Chains A and B, each alone.
Chain A
Amino acid sequence: MAIITVKNLMTQFGSHIVHEGLDLEINKEEILGIVGGSGSGKSVLLRTIIGLNKPKSGSINILGEELLDLSDQGLLDIQRHWGVLFQNGALFSSLTVAENIQVPMREYTHLSAKMREDLAYLKLNLVGLSANVANKMPSELSGGMRKRVALARALALDPQILFLDEPTAGLDPIAAGAFDHLIYDLQRNLDLTVVIVTHDLDTLFTICDRVAVIVDKKVIEGTLAELLKIDHPWFKAYFHGPRARHLSRDKENGN
């Protein structure tokens, strides 16, 4: 069942057309990876779906609502049903970790201060951080911890959909693997729909149920097995390149 349907999307900056006639369906409770070359418009697509960027034409249906027809208030109401993890975390630098996680709760709920605090600690625990980072400032955290805190903030209102922009970029392979694992666990336990924009082939091969590839301003989506068979120079270069080869071999062997 589709939770997000993008139809005939066209985005344009000045005279530069980023997407043209782009269709994309994202199913409920799946992990979808969005890949594509640098500058192919992965992040633009993500920003368009979450309403930060207005497309030239097309329709985006998300959680049964037509995104482009929504009023400002309607957009605010629907935004609480998704959480977004930006590439560098985008934690508010003037707030502590705990305050950062509480920001959406303050804005959207009437929870007591004690409950908010408890929930902030709970989210920290869910993303695998201990309570003693709660009073630190974002600048005191390492890159991996910052991403985890940002994930905790994205999960603050228990959203149905989680958008992740390059979640493993800038992490070492061990931290990246652990972060992939964390996303997978949370997705399975909380029944999340997860949309990941990524360059990380490991993420694609280990946790994504389906993959959407942006080539020639359009999206080609399918499971990895389907995409691996496509006879297109870009696909060949991407999925059969030296970096991907050993991963796909592992996958075939069932590892």
Chain B
Amino acid sequence: MFFETKSQKDQLDIALIGPWTVAQLAEIELALEQLAWSKYQTITINAEQLTILDTAGAWLLKQFIEQIKSAKKTVNLLNIHPKQASIYHLIEPIQLEEEVEKPAGSAFINVIVRLGEGAVNAFKQMLLLLSFIGQVCVTLGHVILNPKKIRLTSIIRHMDETGINAIPIVALMAFLTSVVLAYQGATQLRQFGAEIFTIDLVAISILREMGVLLTAIMVAGRSGSAFAAEIGVMQVNEEIDAMRTLGLNPFEILVVPRVLALILVLPILTFVADMTGLLGAAMMSILLLDITLTQFLVRAHAAVGLWTFGVGMIKAPFFAFIIATIGCLKGMQVTGSAEKVGEMTTSAVVQAIFVVILADAIFSIIFSKMGI
């Protein structure tokens, strides 16, 4: 019960009762809607028994009174406590502005617009990446010509974080991948009685492609994101602006050590992945193919040339350059607030993996043209 009504002839008395606050508002609104006030000419609202009125309650009361007024009836608000009156009078003059219209277009046009925006953005991103790569190369060249500017401590720290700490996970991943490959290969090749070629399959694919590619993807997820987040947070804290005003070159201090560290470390990680991958292949061959370790080694030696190993290793520094550059670029692109850091970190990983796979495809074409 939020109000009581009494009617006589064409007059309706409404006595407000108890608290009218946001907690009761939903029910009061419902009760008011069901109130048949429109057949009376004069409506009196008595607020004597109203105990609490807050802004939400006052808003509802004001709307109710305005509704009655707009129906050309007489309405009076009586006996309102001074405290409640002050809230009511605070709310009374407020007129809500019409809601701002949101721009609406047809769904079809919106799709086209988004497609266009996406394409333009992708193109801009590509240009940005190219100019950033250029900048990194220039600074890299400059640093190499002035070896005093190489920040050895920083490079070693990043090598530790991106390399040494990643060895266990990279090794485990390569091992398990080759176990899976060997298992699938053996099952399929058995149908042709060519199980022994499982060794060729696993050894070649690990050394040529899987070792380096999986390592690069793992490092992009681990370190590319870390680069973007670290530099992004520094960007939010204006640390990078501070460096510039102190005459320090953020490229020299932040980007070059990370790029150099990753270029040095990714081949090592790839080597680790290759070796544990072969270990996995050997283990599976012994278990599935019923051969000895010596037989495995003989077969593997026949299948794998020096170039099989070389093709994988050559790609590692290029992938490292891609991952580190994109990670740093995304960190540098963070502007304003901290929310951007998360967005850019995600984008760093996605773009780095995409560009790594793109580069891998290009390498495949080049190597096949060269006949290796």
In Å, the complex CA distance between A191 and B98 comes to: 30
Smallest beta-carbon distance A129→chain B, Å: 11
With a cutoff of 8 Å between Cβ atoms, the chain A residues found around residue B26 in the complex are 109-112, 115
Task: Determine whether the beta carbon of B29 is less than 8 Å from that of A126.
Answer: no
Given contacts A119-B56, A122-B91, are A109 and B99 in contact (CB under 8 A)?
no
Q: Which of A109, A118, A139, A190 contacts B96 (CB 8 A)?
A: A118
- B66 near A: Cβ within 8 Å? no
Contact with B along A180-211 (1 / 0, CB 8 A): 00000000011100000000000000000000
Chain B contacts for A109, CB-based, 8 A: 22-23, 25-26
From the candidates B102, B336, B337, name the one contacting A135 in the complex (CB within 8 A).
Answer: B102
Which one of B82-90, B157-165, B361-369 is at the interface? B82-90
Known: A122-B91, A130-B97, A157-B22. A139 touches B337 (CB 8 A): yes
- Complexed CA–CA distance, A191 and B52 (Å): 11
Give chain B nearest CB distance to A248 CB in angstroms.
31
What is the distance, in angstroms, from A141's C-beta to the closest C-beta of chain B?
Answer: 11
- Chain A residue numbers with a CB within 8 Å of B22 are 105, 109, 111, 119, 156-158
Contact B100 A189 (CB under 8 A): no
Inter-subunit contact A190/B337 (CB<8 Å): no
Residues of chain A from 111 to 147 with CB closer than 8 A to chain B in the complex:
111-112, 115, 118-119, 121-123, 125-126, 130-132, 134-135, 139
> When A105-B22, A110-B26, A158-B22 are in contact, do A122 and B97 touch as well, CB less than 8 Å?
no
Q: Which residue of B lies closest to A94 (CB)?
A: B339
Q: Which residue of B lies closest to A185 (CB)?
A: B90
A-side contacts of B100, CB under 8 Å:
131-132, 134-135
Asked if residues A132 and B97 are in contact (CB atoms below 8 Å), the reply is yes
Interface: B94 (CB within 8 A): yes
Chain B interface extent, by class: 20 to 34
Select from chain A the residue with minimum beta-carbon distance to B90. Answer: A189
Q: B197 near A: Cβ within 8 Å?
A: no
CA–CA, A134 to B100, complex, Å? Answer: 9
The docked-state distance in angstroms from the alpha carbon of A112 to that of B60 is 12
Cβ of A152 to closest chain B Cβ, rounded Å: 11
Q: Is the CB of A190 within 8 A of B99?
A: no
Q: Report if A93 contacts B (CB, 8 A).
A: yes
* Contact assessment for A119 and B59 in the assembled complex, using a CB-CB cutoff below 8 Å: yes
The reply to whether B96 and A125 contact each other, CB–CB distance below 8 Å, is yes
Give the contacting residue for A93; candidates B60, B83, B339; CB below 8 A. Answer: B339
User: Could you tell me if A191 and B91 are in contact, using CB atoms closer than 8 angstroms?
Assistant: no
Contact across chains for A118 and B59 when beta carbons are under 8 A apart: yes
Greatest chain A CB density within 10 A among B22, B54, B94, B99 is at B22
A123 to B22: give the CA distance in the assembly, Å: 13
Interface assignment of B21: CB less than 8 Å from any CB of chain A: yes
Number of A-B contacts (CB under 8 A): 72
Residue with the highest number of chain A CB atoms closer than 10 Å, among B56, B63, B83: B56
A93 to B341, CA, bound (A): 13
Contact A190 B25 (CB under 8 A): no
Taking the complex as formed, is B308 at the interface, i.e. its CB lies under 8 A from any CB of chain A? no
* B23: min CB distance to chain A, Å: 7
Closest to B102 in A: A135
How far does the alpha carbon of A105 sit from the alpha carbon of B337 in the complex, in Å?
27
What residue of chain A has the Cβ atom nearest to residue B84's Cβ?
A191
Question: Which among A122, A123, A158 has the greatest number of chain B C-beta atoms within 10 A?
Answer: A158
Q: Which residue of A lies closest to B55 (CB)?
A: A158
The answer for the CA separation of A132 and B55 in the assembled complex, in Å, is 21
Asked whether, in the complex, the Cβ of B96 is within 8 Å of the Cβ of A158, the reply is: no
- Contact B87 A131, beta carbon cutoff 8 Å: no
Residues of chain A with a CB closer than 8 A to B83's CB: 191
Determine the chain A residues whose CB is within 8 A of the CB of B337 once the complex forms.
93, 139
Q: Please pick, from B23, B87, B91, B339, the residue contacting A139 in the complex, using a CB distance under 8 A.
A: B339
A residues in contact with B336, CB < 8 Å: 139
Q: Check B97–A189 contact: CB distance below 8 A.
A: no
Instruction: Give chain B residues whose Cβ lies under 8 Å from the Cβ of A190.
Output: 54-55, 87, 90
Q: Is the CB of B21 within 8 A of A158?
A: yes
Query: What residue of chain A has the Cβ atom nearest to residue B96's Cβ?
Result: A121
Cα–Cα distance between A33 and B91 once the two chains are bound (Å): 28
Bound CA span A119–B86, Å: 18
Contact B54 A131 (CB under 8 A): no
In whole angstroms, how far apart are the Cα atoms of A118 and B23 in the complex? 16
CB-contact partner of A125 in B54, B94, B98, under 8 A:
B94
Interface string of A149-163 (1 = CB under 8 A from B): 000000111100000
Pick the contact of A131 from B56, B96, B339 — CB < 8 Å? B96
| Most A CB within 10 A of own CB, among B25, B29, B337 | B25
Beta-carbon nearest neighbor of B99 in chain A: A131
**B253: min CB distance to chain A, Å:** 29
The answer to whether A122 and B102 touch across the interface, beta carbons within 8 angstroms, is no
Known: A119-B59, A132-B97. A189 touches B87 (CB 8 A): yes
Give residues 58-88 of B contacting A (CB, 8 Å).
59-60, 63, 83, 86-87
The 7 closest A-B pairs by CB, nearest first: A158-B54, A131-B97, A110-B26, A121-B96, A189-B90, A132-B100, A125-B94
Supply 12 further A-B pairs (C-beta < 8 A) apart from A111-B25, A122-B55.
A93-B337, A93-B339, A109-B22, A112-B26, A122-B94, A125-B96, A126-B90, A131-B98, A134-B100, A156-B22, A157-B22, A158-B21
Could you list which residues of chain A lie within 8 angstroms of chain B, going by C-beta atoms? Answer: 93, 105, 108-112, 115, 118-119, 121-123, 125-126, 130-132, 134-135, 139, 155-158, 189-191
Query: 14 A-B pairs, CB-CB below 8 angstroms?
Result: A108-B23, A111-B22, A111-B25, A112-B26, A112-B29, A119-B59, A125-B94, A130-B97, A131-B99, A134-B99, A157-B23, A158-B55, A190-B55, A190-B90
